[in-house]
Structure 1
Amino acid sequence: MADRLISIGVIGAGIMGERLMRAALEHAADVVRVAGVWDPSPASLARISRELPPVPLLDSPEAVVAAADCVYVASPPASHLGHARRALAAGRALFCEKPLAVDPADARAFVAEAGAARAAVNFPFASSFAVQHLQSWIAEGVIGTPRSLGIEVAFATWPRSWQRDAAAWLDGPAQGGFTREVVSHFLFLARRLLGELVLQSGRARFPEPGLSERGLSARLTAGGVPVTLSGTVGTTVHDDHNVFTLTGSLGSVRLRDWSIAERLQAGTWHPDPDALPNARIRPLVLRRQLEGVAHLVAGEPHALATLAEAFEVQSVVEAILAEDGH
């Protein structure tokens, strides 16, 4: 890794932008420095000024690109590729939120344009301690030969309570919905652990006109392993509940609620004793992501999600959403 601190500029001062900047300041100050942030909303920039006073407020996306070694695009999805193309055209590294775009054809074109550019997508499971534990169990032969994968996500409401300020786009069918925002993470994880994703069938339900989906079901394969996927809103009291269960010829392991790795033994799920709730472990995972960004900028190997992986996930997500099951 380079001897000097890598500078990262942030476009988008919403939840994800603030989380990454906070992690950079509080947990990764020896790895990166925040060159500045821009957002079209003065209120969002005012909040960052209050919450994270060391972060420079910049007056345009062009200023962010000029100030940084790497540009982190954390704006709403429809704007991702405009900022991403600007960053790569200027010779900067790119770290982008998912999905790459709202138009899969444009995302495909961008991946082809980018080629071998220094670019990655922010799927934090690439740096997850819990996923690392699952990988260790799998490598040890705990589950034997993978036979099936089940992915279940559920929400009390959508958007989740802490996302309501962004409901204008997060609950719209064009850019938002839990399939893009949440299910995509678990599809990425399936791709990483098992292999290529192939959708067999899928349906999303849009019972409220003009709003994002409230349910989905799908069947696919990951590296040839059968995957069942389900998602619902209003079926749990929790903001967010999810289970990713991988079963093999000898046993089962699972990831629960983002950060709890568990192993099935004698009919009972036993969590990793070192596991921490997602809210507590998230900043440390983001530090690992930022370490990956530093490697990305230096042209060194890293574990961050590639553009090709992100496009494969997006293609599956959009295909499911295109099948409106009402």
Structure 2
Amino acid sequence: MAVRLGIVGFGIMGERLLRAALAQDAMRPVAVWDPSAEAASRLARIAPEVPMLASPAAVIAACEALYIASPPSAHLEHAGAAFAAGRAAFLEKPLAADLAAARAFVTMAEAEGARAAVNFPMASSPAVAQLSAWRAGIGAPRALTIRADFATWPRGWQQGAAGWLARRAEGGFTREVLSHFLFLTRRQLGPLVLLDRSADYPPDDGAEIAVQARLAAGGVPVALSGQVGGTDRDESNEWRLEAEAGSIRLRDWSLAEKRDADGAWRPAPDALPNETMRPMVLRDQLRKLAALTRDEPQDLATLREALEVQEVVEGILGG
């Protein structure tokens, strides 16, 4: 039987997850809450059978698993209410706008055995699975570079959430984008240690416009950089691992590539652009969320992993 899914926050991420849920049978969307009238109209067009309820509490009462896609300052409030009602919680990152509150929350959730995970989709990415398979043949890792460039921030498709995504307190590309690649690094190489960092900000309360950092991941040196204005595309990103016997990379979220002897990068035979792969990945995330809700094995990002990533992100930002 499908797990009943509730959604709090019906911006672009809430909509994407709803669409993915409608395309599979492991979870059944039963309720949504968002304070925006525009969100209610959009939900009625996309899934008229799914009601927009009057409060987060009403959604929690109706569901078995709660997806939390509200702004970060509200994540812990909604997750705590879900836990109190005996529900599983699937949070967007970062865990919270306040790092101390995130630490306390994770300690509490672990002590209580709460069913919780964080939506880092690379936990279910076929491209990441391909990288893992290639690693067996390229020897010990020597160095990693992570790069992300943006024409503007927020990205074009995020302008509806610019009220918080563009602000220093909760937004910025380091939290929203580079965190995914730090999660991938943690899973592939080991614990993250921040060694050095810098961040540039506009003169107002806007989010960062450039960051650089040196880290170690399981002892492997990592160079990270990101900037706004570094490309004329909406965004460009790369995670590149150099090893003893070869190099592999993840480009533009979903393209797994391996460097041949001639120096050219060759994509995996089944490589797909992110727009095509994203719904597939979210469907797999939802299947794993159903397993989490039933206390079955799964490999979604844990609260502890998300906290470790957030600690590094906030360190890069100077927090």
The verdict on a shared fold, with TM-score over 0.5 as the criterion, is yes
Give 1:291's match in structure 2, choosing from 261, 279, 287. 287
Q: What is the rounded CA distance, in whole Å, between the counterparts of 2:211 and 2:46 in structure 1? A: 37
Instruction: Write the letter of the residue equivalent to 2:178.
Output: V
Pairing 1:15–2:26 present = no
Gaps of 5+ in 1: none
The aligned counterpart of 1:195 is 190
What do the CA deviations read for 1:152-195 (whole angstroms, capped 9, x no partner)?
A: 00001000001111101000000000000000000000001011
The aligned counterpart of 2:278 is 282
3-state secondary structure, aligned to 1:322: coil
Pairing 1:59–2:54 present = yes
The structural deviation recorded for 1:46 is 1.5
Give 1:254's match in structure 2, choosing from 243, 249, 256. 249
Q: What is the rounded CA distance, in whole Å, between the counterparts of 1:154 and 1:6 in structure 2? A: 38
Q: How do 1:297-312 and structure 2 match up within 5 A?
A: 297-312=293-308
Pairing 1:181–2:176 present = yes
Identity of aligned residues (%): 58
Q: What is the rounded CA distance, in whole Å, between the counterparts of 1:156 and 1:38 in structure 2? A: 32
The structural deviation recorded for 1:52 is 2.5
Q: What is the rounded CA distance, in whole Å, between the counterparts of 1:36 and 1:111 in structure 2? A: 26
The structural deviation recorded for 1:38 is 0.1
3-state secondary structure, aligned to 2:242: strand
The structural deviation recorded for 1:208 is 3.9
Q: What is the rounded CA distance, in whole Å, between the counterparts of 2:147 and 2:104 in structure 1? A: 31
Instruction: Write the letter of the residue equivalent to 1:117.
Output: A
TM-score (norm 2): 0.98
Considering only aligned residues, what root-mean-square deviation do their CA atoms show, in Å?
Answer: 0.9
The aligned counterpart of 1:167 is 162
Q: What is the rounded CA distance, in whole Å, between the counterparts of 2:19 and 2:53 in structure 1? A: 17
Q: What is the rounded CA distance, in whole Å, between the counterparts of 2:50 and 2:310 in structure 1? A: 32
The aligned counterpart of 1:148 is 143
The structural deviation recorded for 1:302 is 0.5
Pairing 1:41–2:42 present = no
Aligned length: 316
Give 1:225's match in structure 2, choosing from 197, 217, 220. 220
Gaps of 5+ in 2: none
Q: What is the rounded CA distance, in whole Å, between the counterparts of 1:102 and 1:224 in structure 2? A: 29
3-state secondary structure, aligned to 2:317: helix
Pairing 1:83–2:78 present = yes
Q: What is the rounded CA distance, in whole Å, between the counterparts of 1:253 and 1:52 in structure 2? A: 40
Q: Structure 1 segments of 4 or more deviating over 3 A?
A: none
Instruction: Write the letter of the residue equivalent to 1:318.
Output: E
3-state secondary structure, aligned to 1:262: strand
Deviates more, 1:44-53 or 1:307-316: 44-53
The aligned counterpart of 1:131 is 128
The structural deviation recorded for 1:41 is 1.3
Q: What is the rounded CA distance, in whole Å, between the counterparts of 2:234 and 2:303 in structure 1? A: 29
The structural deviation recorded for 1:273 is 1.8
The structural deviation recorded for 1:117 is 1.2
3-state secondary structure, aligned to 1:305: coil
Q: What is the rounded CA distance, in whole Å, between the counterparts of 1:173 and 1:252 in structure 2? A: 35
What do the CA deviations read for 1:201-252 (whole angstroms, capped 9, x no partner)?
A: 1111102411100000000011111100000111111111100001111110
Instruction: Write the letter of the residue equivalent to 1:314.
Output: Q
Instruction: Write the letter of the residue equivalent to 2:26.
Output: V
The aligned counterpart of 1:315 is 311
Instruction: Write the letter of the residue equivalent to 1:283.
Output: P
Pairing 1:71–2:66 present = yes
The structural deviation recorded for 1:54 is 2.6
Instruction: Write the letter of the residue equivalent to 2:31.
Output: G
The aligned counterpart of 1:211 is 206
What do the CA deviations read for 1:267-309 (whole angstroms, capped 9, x no partner)?
A: 1100012111001110000010001101100101111000000
